[in-house]
Amino acid sequence: MKLKTLKKSHLQNLEHSQFAIHVYKISKEADIKKLNSLLPALKAAIDAEEEVLNLPREKEYTKELKVLDKARDESYRAFCLCVASGKYRHSEAIRKAAEEVGKVLKRYPRVPSSSNDYETGSIRNLMVDLRDEKFEPLITLLGAKSDLDQLSADNDAFSQLFLKHFSAKAPIPTAQVRRSRAMTDKAINAIILRITSLSDLEPDTIGLSSLIIRYNKLVNNRKLTLTLRKAARKRRSGDDIIPFENKKSKSGKGEQESVIAETVDEDSIGEEKMEKTVESSGGGEDFPVETKSDGGGEEEKAGERSRRKKNDKKINKEPSAGAKEKLL
């Protein structure tokens, strides 16, 4: 029995590690003495590859940061609404205070919709400006001091947690993933080579035939996965659809020839219908069928045409049954 081949490079990272795990398990279950010595190397390669692929799917504290960012956005809007409401007060001092604070807010536009760092820096600079001796009495007059303090606290909380968002664990480069896969492939190839050698030299080894059958089934399963993935990729890209081919030539002669052919066919059909109508009208005369001849016969054709014209005139002159009733 022969082992089937598989291009392991076409497998995705997790699929590759799972394939190696399956090979290790079926080889261990076969319990072939001359094969067991190679299994520790494969197990070590699998563990190294699993460690490389065990990456977090998202950064730490992502959900907590979203909550804090939403909180500071709401605090910023609450402060802005409090300042804007001062413009509609009856007190002239409150209106002027709202106008002065509003000028400072215009220095930092679109704060909630900005990036995290831009928003953090904008709110921090806004705190420095509004906590100046000139603006402190204006903030108190507007009744917005509590909103300003809440905005500052929410911004500081977000800034502190944002640094924890970046973990100290360095990202694993792609080259390391490739090296780990190469080591696993080397261990798998050693096992495959040992199985092939045993099948040639010692085919009667206990458990060898069942191991080869199981390995071939595993390879067939992986090949099916790759085939289905390739077909799905073609469907998404539209490569499996045959493009429409315009058969019309550049000069347009193909279209003209088809139109002429259709016109000729329609005329011939009209002549056939006319001949059938004349024959069924009961004229009592048998009209000869037109045949091709090398010479002569032109007079017969002319006479036949004249008789057809006369017969057509007679048919056209005869009124229909409905017309006769109207005449009566």
> Domain segments of the chain: what residues?
8-55+172-231, 62-164
pLDDT at 283: 43
Prediction pTM value: 0.46
CA 110 – CA 129 distance, rounded (Å): 17
pLDDT at 281: 43
CA 171 – CA 54 distance, rounded (Å): 11
Contact predicate 61/158, CB 8 Å:
no
Specify the 3-state DSSP secondary structure of 6. coil
**Residue recorded with tokens 């081919």:** 245
Burial grade of 312 (CB within 10 A; 0-12, 13-18, 19 or more): middle
pLDDT at 163: 83
pLDDT at 1: 78
CA 57 – CA 215 distance, rounded (Å): 32
Please identify every stretch of the chain with a pLDDT value under 50, giving residue numbers as ranges.
244-296, 322-328
pLDDT at 89: 92
pLDDT at 59: 67
Burial state string for 63-73 with b = 16 or more CB within 10 A and e = fewer than 16:
eebeebbebbb
Q: Where are the beta strands (DSSP E) in the chain?
A: none
Contact predicate 33/211, CB 8 Å:
no
pLDDT at 294: 46
Residues 6+ apart with CB under 8 A from 304: 287, 288, 290
Tokens at 112, concatenated: 């909630």
Contact predicate 117/155, CB 8 Å:
no
Contact predicate 198/208, CB 8 Å:
yes
pLDDT at 164: 81
